[in-house]
Amino acid sequence: MKPDSFTHSQWYAIGRIGDFEGANAKPVRLLSQDLTVNNSAGVLSVADAEGRSLQSQIRYGHLWTTLSDNPRPLYDMPEFDEPDRRLVTAGGVGVRCSGLRCVENFLDMAHFPFVHTDILGVEDHSTVENYDVSMDADKDEIWATKCKFFQPLASAAATGGQMTEYKYRVPHPYSTILYKTCPIRENVWDLVGLFIQPVEEDECIVHSFILVFDEDNTDTGLLHFQQNIFLQDRMILENQVPRKLPLDPRWELPTRADASSIAYRRWLKANELQWGIALFDKAA
């Protein structure tokens, strides 16, 4: 299937800037197409299989490209310009499922006590309190706010359990950002996010980042914390059936804890996104 216009018109992260050092040309795959990233004296450019030059830009520590000649603007994250924040990027991790599944899993708080046991949740505190979900019509993005969850080890900087407050943002079908209570500063948010590179309809590469205030942990410590969490998620993601994301509600039975997931699926549906979606009568 060719990507629908909503999917086709987006910018996609295809790797960290450093991933393309030391090679004149590196193959990448995006939306079932083979692309090449060329490195000419440190200047990166992207071309498709016919040699046609594609638009590219460097943002948020990653190289982004688009298959569209007239792409939608890449969403803004002003926190990247704030001083004292530390950016740690985790590198691409291949996952055998639709990237849309990865976004949805990221939005799901109910799995914390059972998948990230004694880190992001404990089984004795498994209730997901009601939270608010809204659509920012001007920016065409989803926000889930007033999310609260007890976490024994909310981040690498945490020293004990805390009731963590979350905000989730979905500004792009294949990107999602978590704004999380900073354990060492008041009234600021740490950011954790996923930039997902959809390789095929049911396969993706997840580029994750953390953008935090943390004066104690090394980059390696922050990276290990994030990678540990994501590898726990990957085991779950790769066992979901179907591998594409179902939009028909008869596949699954959501609860109120899934309100952000429902909003995400409604948003994909409203934008007529079809690439990476499981059809009710055809999915395996």
Q: How far is the CB of 282 from other proteins (least distance, A)?
A: 12
Complex with other proteins: residue 62 or 265, whichever CB lies closer? 265
Question: Which residues on adjacent β-strands are paired with residue 58?
Answer: 63
192-251 residues near other proteins, rule: CB under 8 A? 247-250
Q: 148 by DSSP, 3-state: which?
A: strand
Complex with other proteins: residue 87 or 257, whichever CB lies closer? 257
Binding of other proteins at residue 170 (CB under 8 A)? no
Complex with other proteins: residue 16 or 244, whichever CB lies closer? 244
249-278 residues near other proteins, rule: CB under 8 A? 249-250, 253-256, 258-259, 262, 265-266, 269-270
Binding of other proteins at residue 282 (CB under 8 A)? no
Q: Could you give the residue ranges of the DSSP H alpha helices within the chain?
A: 5-8, 99-107, 112-115, 219-237, 259-270
Complex with other proteins: residue 228 or 255, whichever CB lies closer? 255
CA atoms within 13 A on the CB side of 156: 25
Question: Which residues on adjacent β-strands are paired with residue 8?
Answer: none
Q: How far is the CB of 280 from other proteins (least distance, A)?
A: 8
Complex with other proteins: residue 162 or 271, whichever CB lies closer? 271
The pair phi, psi for residue 259, each rounded to 5°, is -55, -40
Strand pairing category for 175-181 and 189-200: antiparallel
Question: Which residues on adjacent β-strands are paired with residue 168?
Answer: 144, 178
Task: Report how far residue 159's alpha carbon sits from residue 157's, in angstroms, rounded to the nearest whole number.
Answer: 7
Q: How far is the CB of 264 from other proteins (least distance, A)?
A: 10
Complex with other proteins: residue 121 or 246, whichever CB lies closer? 246
Complex with other proteins: residue 236 or 247, whichever CB lies closer? 247
Binding of other proteins at residue 134 (CB under 8 A)? no
Q: Where are the beta strands (DSSP E) in 213-254?
A: 245-246
Q: How far is the CB of 142 from other proteins (least distance, A)?
A: 13
Q: How far is the CB of 119 from other proteins (least distance, A)?
A: 28
DSSP string for 96-137: SS-HHHHHHHHH--TTHHHHSBTTTB-GGG------EEEEET
Give the distance from CA 174 to its chain's centroid. Answer: 6
Binding of other proteins at residue 280 (CB under 8 A)? yes
Q: Which among 230, 42, 274, 19 is positioned nearest to 28, based on CA atoms?
A: 19
Catalog residues that contact other proteins under the rule CB under 8 A: 247-250, 253-256, 258-259, 262, 265-266, 269-270, 280
